[in-house]
Structure 1
Amino acid sequence: MGLEKRGYAGKVLYVDLGREVHHTELLKEDVVQLLLGGKGLGALLLYRLLEKGVDPLSPRNPLIFATGPLTGTMAPGSGRFCVVTKSPATGTINDSYCGGFFGSELKMSGCDALVLLGKASEPSILVIDDGDVYVEPAGDIWGMKTFEAEDAVKKRLGGDFKVVEIGPAGERMAPIASIFSGTRSAGRGGTGAVMGSKNLKAIAVRGSGAIQVYDPKGFRRAAWRAHRALRMSEVTVRSLPLYGTANILETVNETGALPTRNFQSGRFDGAAGISGEAFRDSLWKMDFACSLSCPIGCSKIAEISGRCSERVTVDGPDYETAFSFGSNCGISDGEAISYVNLLCDLYGVDSISTGVIVSFVMELYQRGYVTAEDLDGIEARWGDSEAMIALTEKIVKGEGVGELLQLGVKRISEKYPGSERFAMHVKGLEVPGYDPRAAQGMGLCYAVSERGACHLRAYTAGRELLGYEGGADPSTYDRAKVQMAIDRQDEKAVVDSAVICFFAMLGMRLKEVYQMLVPCTGFEYGGFEGLMELGARVITLCRLFNVREGFTRKDDTLPGRFLEEPMPEGPAKGMVVHLEPMLEAYYEMRGLDENGVPKDETLERLGLKPLIS
């Protein structure tokens, strides 16, 4: 039986934009049994296609869009796709995820993955219309903001096309640029910059194929059980639908982990003003789900008018945007946060990185590293909404001081010696919304994440701070905590390779994913334990890519603030992150040597040697 009857389209489409040629290759059964799809497939393609040391903005850097076996099925949260490339922000492998309808449409057009190579000779749109693949000129939409560009593409080609696009930030190859599809984005790591480096403004896909599974009746039963699990969870039936991801903000603040004033503290007095409850009362006008397979509907539409010439709608703010532009800048003005959220979306940038850049500049200003004169006249004081907006406008437009600021806190800090200690990034990616001094496991997860600081690579904060799955002591840093982090990494790698929304996993467990995968694909994966090993295989493959690029133990670290500055207040008062003992145990338990390089026996055990040779 072919893969096209096992949840896959069965093909990978390669497009050379410079030569305007394309071809397809069959997806191999042994590859998907070992790596599923999505993250795992994308990582393997990148590892095989890209040689060491290539500039991420070079035409030689592939940009890969990958789906998984569950993409486009009735599995809850399956309307997503994965973008894999070498990051211009970090130089590491980067995988980023986006909701909406593009992933399902790509699969229905006949390919599980799209690999973009080369660089178009002029601003272009790539069109995939079932079997027809061609390039159209995009000079008339180059320079447009994201939503305007998507509308223009659909007006030209037809409203039934599903589109991804970049904004002006991606066109100028800002390392914080994202790829957008509707109101959703593959947000982190500079995916939009790589797309811009290829002179590609948009990709439009239309597909008429059907997605077939191995055992339709068994799959329907398994998917129904998964949906039932979500209906029985307080998080997915009430908290997320009502208050979005910002539902956790006040709880995180109470635990002392809410980043405040560039992570100087973990408690913010104005937290109630930027919570999900506050946003629902004052800003949000509508809830929506980003795909047909989503039973949660965590997305929110806000209406703002105070800073706009007319009333406009904004998708959000979510928790990460509320922290990055809110507590981390000392701001509790929900409308101001919504406005910069809109700016980030329109110009096509990552709101986490942008907000953390703003907070870093505010601390540079606080400590006298910069003056208003250095910042084009902006007095970057904590709690000043207008200063926050002005800095964000500079960043998203890349104008004036924004030309430097758009490069990220790592590169900004290189201009101001002594500021490295409070430049809040890992491997060049800005730190998201949990202070790890109040959650030791998150500290380890940030440090060893293959793409830099990321809360989604192993969400130990769910147990350490929010009490999920019985909770876990946030202050411990023993082998049990390390094992929890490893388990979460492996589980998330499976979820990202099947391509399921992380929020669905707050209502169901990996058991339900496994129960859907087996009738979907007809493969057993060596049982549930074998599926966990598949996750470890994907994590190790990503580490192999980074090792080849020169990353070692010295890069698996955290900002000096987390390691040296005790938390000043809250439940974690006096704590720093005890990274070294956790890192030692992690390397041992993962089968890595003292420099973080996978040992030969680890590669043998995970079956990686045949894949990478």
Structure 2
Amino acid sequence: MSLEGRAYKDCILRVDLDTGRVERESIPEEVARLLLGGRGLGSWLLYHELEPGYDPLGPRNLLIFVTGPLTGTMAPTAGRVGLVTKSPANGAILDSYAGGFFGETLKFAGYDAVAIRGVAPEPSVLVIEDEKVRLEPARDLWGSDVFDTRLALQKRFGDSALTAVIGPAGERRSPIAGIFCETRSLARGGGGAVMGSKNLKAVVVRGSGRVSVHDPQEFEQAVWIASRMLRMSSQIKRMQTDGTVNILELINAAGGLPTRNFQSGQFEAVEEIRCEAWHSHWRRTSACHACPIGCTKIAYSERYGIWIDGPEYETTFALGSNTGVSDRDAILYANYLCDKYGVDAISVGGIVAFAMELYERRFASKSDLDGVEARFGNPEALIQLCEKIGKGEGVGAFLEKGVRAVSRAFPGSESFAMHVKGLELPGYLPRAAKGIALSYAISERGACHLHGSPIIELLGGADPLTTEGKALLFRTNQLDTAVIDACILCYFTKFGFTLKEVHQMLNAATGFGYRNPREVERIGERITNLARLFNLREGFSERDDTLPGRCLREPLPSGPAKGHVVELDRMKAEYYQAMGWDEHGIPTLRKLQELQLDQLIELKDLPH
């Protein structure tokens, strides 16, 4: 039975860049029912089709753009697109998401997923216009930055075409390169490097279709309820007014705002970068498809004459407090440079902060850093290093390899190299929030705030300094988030509605008849186990579920969490048990069969 008309287009578009061949295939209904779409569908494709140990930058690695069953509907925040691939930053499974309108347009063009493999014979653009799919040469765009590329493509294809592009960082296969969908980004984990390795400068999409659902009347009612709950949320109201940076002052007060390469959790110049301070830069607000939140602020810097979305909380932490910089114009310009050259701002901020600590502790000299006075709080150093990293020039060609790679060149620096599994840490201090610490250690793609981090710890929703109950708190958040990423909805919906509302929307949209929210949560559990199996197959183990030495052995010097370190081992053991895994973090055969994963993958060659 076809999935078309039940919130799916029932079409995976396969593009072989080696041959230019294009094929279409249906989604097995059992895959859709058990994994939905988005992250679930992408993870299943990657697990099935990529041989173990394969080079992430090799031609057979898959670059998979995914939508979910709710993408393109009127479900609140249902305009997002996902990316699934094997990460060149660490060899783990990578999933990343972006808002805007690219996702809905891809769905309107008729596709639940686009799976790309091979290498184009020359720099190219993949053009998808409904059923028409073709490769066009793009030598004239190779070497262009993200902004110039986007403008050139708009001129060539018109404003109705949506684009996903890479900048120079992706072209040179930098492990911190992202893919930029208009003003949104699939930034973490190096997806832009995979796209660059395929000689693919951009994907251009134009779609004229629509998404039909199983029961339109029931779906409309479910959407109305979910949207109303979002609008009633006090946290959502704060986001509407002040964007994601609205939480910065609260996080700082709780001692959880990473400052000077995670040395402390409170920034003395927080008044300069809190949400009210940004009001003088903000000119207007924008929203993604079907989004009642509208959290994006459009900012302007008079000093530099540039416009930029944001800054978001994560970029304000990464390029601000974590580098000790409180100059708002400098933070905006550093953010602009990251977007221009196509790199992940969180990773860039982590790299710059690490370089600054290397410099201040005399591991690295001024000459090592191309003459940059890399002191914490120096806005000129922030901008100079961002420019060098973005261009991959001088010391930037070394720094863009990431914190883990850089630390290997400076013996003794490993304890303050702030990464997990090779991915730089996002914006919450692990020593000040034990559940967040556990989530960073466990996350499949490396340190991640979007794979179930219980951020409520730092917003008054739980005691952040106890380890008690944090394994179960993280597990619940992790599974719920995996469902959100399979739908695909925005992470911020968690501030407004629960899996109860998601369950109602999914049943009305797909007709799958899930009995209750617990059955929907099991979808998230399947996806999480599938990602775990992928990483175990790639050589990851319980030893990789850890944190930087600074988090484990260096007591926090000040703030509400003064004297605290992360007691990880107990939480990790409790989490493994709660997941039904063995003491080494390996899913048991019984658990996988209970989750019906034996219906989706071969279980005969499981790691042990």
TM-score bucket of the superposed structures, by smaller chain:
over 0.9
- Aligned partner of residue 455 in structure 1, secondary structure: coil
The answer for the alignment partner of 2:589 in structure 1 is 600
Whole-angstrom CA distance in 2 between matches of 1:128 and 1:569: 54
Q: What secondary structure sits across from 1:7 in the alignment?
A: coil
CA shift for structure 1 position 100? 1.3
1:566 counterpart = 2:559: no
Partner residue, 2:467: 477
Deviations 1:254-279, CA, capped at 9 Å, x for gaps: 00011011000011101111111111
Shift of 1:327: 0.7
Q: Does 1:242 align with 2:204?
A: no
CA contact (8 A) 1:90 1:428 kept: yes
Structure 2 matches for 1:253-264, cutoff 5 A? Answer: 253-264=252-263
CA contact (8 A) 2:431 2:561 kept: yes
Question: Which amino acid letter does the alignment assign opposite residue 511 of structure 1?
Answer: K
Find 1:296's aligned residue among 286, 293, 297: 293
Q: CA deviation at 1:612?
A: 1.1
* 1:324-363 Cα distance to aligned partner (Å, 9 max, x none): 1111111111110000000011111110000010000000
Q: TM-score, with normalisation over the residues of structure 2?
A: 0.98
Q: Equivalents in 2 of 1:161, 1:384: separation in Å?
A: 41
Whether 1:314 and 2:308 are equivalent positions in the alignment is yes
Residue 173 of structure 2 corresponds to 173
In structure 1, how many angstroms separate the alpha carbons of the residues matched to 2:365 and 2:509?
A: 59
**CA–CA separation in structure 1 for the residues paired with 2:514 and 2:51:** 30
What amino acid maps onto 2:491 in structure 1? Answer: F
The answer as to 2:422 corresponding to 1:425 is no
Counterpart of 1:335 in structure 2 is: 329
Distance across 1 between alignment mates of 2:522 and 2:455: 23
Q: What is the identity, as a one-letter code, of the residue corresponding to 1:516? A: M
Provide, for residues 46-83 of structure 1, a one-character-per-residue CA deviation record: whole Å limited to 9, x for no partner.
00110111111111110000110100110111110110
Q: Which amino acid aligns with 2:355?
A: V
Cα distance between partner residues in 2 of 1:159 and 1:358:
36
Partner of 1:380: 374
Give the distance between the partners of 1:254 and 1:459, measured in 2 at CA: 19
- SS state of the match for residue 116, structure 1? strand
Give the AA of the match of 1:520.
A
2:292 alignment partner, SS class: coil
Equivalent of residue 350 in structure 2, options 356, 380, 389? 356
- Cα pair 1:241 1:296 within 8 Å, conserved: yes
Deviations 1:409-461 (A, max 9, x none): 00000111111100000000000000111100011100110000001101312
Shift of 1:507: 1.8
Q: Which amino acid aligns with 2:95?
A: D
Give the secondary-structure state (helix, strand or coil) at the position aligned to 1:189.
helix
Q: Distance in 2 between matches of 1:292 and 1:392?
A: 31
Sequence identity percentage: 55
Contact 2:79 2:289 in 1 (8 A): yes
2:576 to 581, 587, 597: 587
Q: Using the TM superposition, give the Cα deviation of residue 147 of structure 1 relative to its aligned residue in structure 2, in angstroms.
A: 2.1
**For the residues of structure 2 that align with 1:595 and 1:459, how far apart are their CA atoms?**
22
Structure 2 distance, partners of 1:577, 1:561, is 9
Distance 1:116 1:456 in 2: 25
Shift of 1:407: 0.7
For the residues of structure 2 that align with 1:32 and 1:276, how far apart are their CA atoms? Answer: 41
1:460 alignment partner AA: P
Which residue number corresponds to residue 129 of structure 1?
129
* 2:505 matches 1:512: no
SS at match of 2:243: helix
| 8 Å contact from structure 1 (residues 371, 379) kept in 2 | no
2-structure distance, mates of 1:459, 1:52: 28
Quote the Cα distance in structure 1 between the aligned partners of 2:565 and 2:128: 51
Question: What is the total number of aligned residue pairs between the two structures?
Answer: 602
> Would you say the 8 A contact 1:178–1:348 is kept in 2?
yes
Q: CA deviation at 1:2?
A: 2.6
Secondary structure at 1:205's aligned position in 2? strand
Matched, 1:252 2:242: no
Q: Contact 2:499–2:521 at 8 Å: present in 1 too?
A: no
State the TM-score, normalized to the length of structure 1: 0.97
Q: 1:390 aligns with which of 384, 389, 407?
A: 384
Task: Give yes or no for contact 2:222–2:505 (8 Å, CA) kept in 1.
Answer: yes
**Alignment pair present for 1:452 and 2:446:** yes
SS at match of 2:65: strand
Tell me what 1:611 maps to.
600
The equivalent of 1:345 in structure 2 is 339
Match of 1:466 in 2: 459
Contact 2:306–2:333, Cα closer than 8 Å, also in 1: no
Whole-Å separation in 1 of the counterparts to 2:60 and 2:406: 27
1:116 aligns with 2:103: no
Which stretches in structure 2 are left out of the alignment for 5+ residues?
603-608
CA distance in 2: counterparts of 1:21 and 1:300, whole angstroms: 41
SS of 1:465 mapped into structure 2: helix
1:178-221 per-position Cα deviation (integer Å, ceiling 9, x unaligned): 10011100110001110000000000111222200000000000
Q: How many angstroms apart in 1 are the aligned matches of 2:235 and 2:23?
A: 44
Provide the C-alpha distance between the structure 2 equivalents of 1:390 and 1:210, rounded to a whole number of angstroms.
46
**Residue equivalent to 1:141:** 141
CA apart distance, 1:231: 1.3
Residues 424 and 431, structure 1, Cα contact 8 Å, conserved in 2: yes
Question: Quick check: 525-534 or 92-101, which moved more?
Answer: 525-534
Which residue of 2 is the match for residue 54 of structure 1? 54
Q: Deviation of residue 154 (structure 1)?
A: 2.2
1:3 to partner: Cα distance: 0.9
Q: After TM superposition, what 4+ stretches of structure 1 lie above 3 angstroms from structure 2?
A: none
CA offsets 1:445-484 (integer angstroms, 9 cap, x no match) = 001100000011013122x1113xxx11111112x22111
Amino acid at match of 2:383: I
* Candidates 521, 526, 543, aligned match of 2:532: 543
Aligned to 2:154: 154
Amino acid in the other structure paired with 2:285: D
Where do 1:211-226 residues align within 5 Å? Answer: 211-226=211-226
> Over residues 475-521 of structure 1, what are the superposed CA-to-partner deviations in whole Å (9 max), with x where a residue is unaligned?
1112x221111000000000000000112221222221111111000
Matched residue, 2:605: none
Separation in structure 2 between the aligned mates of residue 24 and residue 595 of structure 1, nearest angstrom: 40
SS at match of 2:205: strand
Post-superposition shift, 1:107? 1.1
Which aligned pairs between 1:13-24 and structure 2 lie closer than 5 A? 13-24=13-24
SS at 1:3's partner residue? coil
How many Å apart are 1:38 and its aligned residue? Answer: 0.3
- The DSSP-based 3-state class of the residue aligned with 1:314 is strand
For residues 520 and 355 of structure 1, the distance between their equivalents in structure 2, rounded to whole angstroms, comes to 41
Determine if contact 2:542/2:584 at 8 Å carries over to the other structure. yes
Q: Equivalents in 2 of 1:476, 1:40: separation in Å? A: 32
8 A Cα contact 2:231 2:293, kept in partner: no
Whole-Å separation in 2 of the counterparts to 1:305 and 1:322: 18
Residue 285 (1) aligns with residue 283 (2):
yes
2:488 is matched with which residue: 482, 492, 499? 499
User: Post-superposition shift, 1:10?
Assistant: 0.4
Rounded Cα–Cα distance in structure 2 between residues aligned with 1:604 and 1:552: 21
Partner secondary structure for residue 5 of structure 1? coil
Shift of 1:159: 2.3
Shift of 1:610: 2.3
Structure 1: unaligned runs, 5 residues or longer: none
Quote the offset at 1:252 in angstroms: 0.4
Corresponding residue for residue 29 of structure 1 = 29
How big is the shift at 1:377?
0.4
Distance 1:100 1:490 in 2: 24
CA contact (8 A) 2:72 2:210 kept: no
Separation of aligned partners in 2, 1:589 and 1:505:
22
Which residue is 2:73 aligned to? Answer: 73
- 2-side partners of 1:51 and 1:95: how far apart? 18
Residues in 2 aligned to 1:475 and 1:570: alpha-carbon distance in whole angstroms: 12
